[in-house]
Amino acid sequence: MPKIDRASAPSSQGSSYPTPFDEPCRGRSTVRLGVAAGLTRLGANLITLAPGAWSSQRHWHQHEDELVYVLDGELVLVEDAGETVLGPGDSAGWPAGVPDGHHLQNRSQAEATFLVVGSRNDEDYGEYSDIDMAFGPGRYSRGKAWRYQHKDGTIY
């Protein structure tokens, strides 16, 4: 596979969460490196958070492993057990099936960038720890829209 051209890789701003859950993530920029490489079993995204932005709502995955590696700036990792400050060279990971809601927040005055790598599984599902939202199987597959639902199964 040739070198990935970051400038031409698919990218997005913010999140696809329904309002108002998208608001803390509006300062998130994502470059989809795994998609640019044609990967189908592994996701790899380069994410930059503006000051005050969140990576996501706190969540966990039933069928996907997830690992983050901080490249630049300072981030606060928020998990069920508490908060941890992460800086360049720090990493954290979550195995599939462990319901430990997690996300990163940029509480600094400068941008922060990290790499997130995870398995891709169309049967994955999970929940958002602090809000009435979950995702079910088929939430994203080959360009289809994300699907969010209330924890009782009602679709947003």
Give the residue numbers spanning the domain of 36.
Answer: 6-123
pLDDT for position 153: 84
Looking at the domain assignment, is residue 100 inside a domain? Answer: yes
CATH number at residue 89: 2.60.120.10
Assigned domain for 131 exists: no
Q: Is the bond leading into 137 cis (omega within 30 degrees of zero)?
A: no
Beta strands in the chain (DSSP E): 11-13, 28-32, 42-49, 59-61, 66-72, 75-79, 82-86, 91-94, 102-105, 112-119, 126-128, 133-135, 148-149
Identify the residue with better confidence: 152 or 54.
54
Residues of the chain with pLDDT > 70: what percent? 94
Residue 150: the pLDDT is 92
Does residue 71 sit within a domain?
yes
Asked whether residue 51 is assigned to any structural domain, the reply reads: yes
pLDDT value at residue 143: 46
pLDDT, tens digit (0-9, with 9 covering 90-100), for 72-94: 999 999 999 999 999 999 999 99
Q: Could you give the number of structural domains in the chain?
A: 1
Question: Tens digits of per-residue pLDDT, 136-149?
Answer: 775 444 444 557 88
50 burial type by CB count under 10 A (0-12 exposed, 13-18 middle, 19+ buried): middle
In this structure, is residue 150 part of a structural domain? no
pLDDT digits (tens, 9 = 90+) for 29-50: 999 999 999 999 999 999 999 9
pLDDT at 146: 58
Query: Is residue 23 domain-resident?
Result: yes
Q: Could you tell me if residue 118 is inside a domain?
A: yes
Output the average pLDDT for the chain: 92
Residue 128 confidence class, pLDDT cut points 50, 70, 90 = very high
Q: Is residue 143, in this structure, part of any structural domain at all?
A: no
Tell whether pTM > 0.85: yes
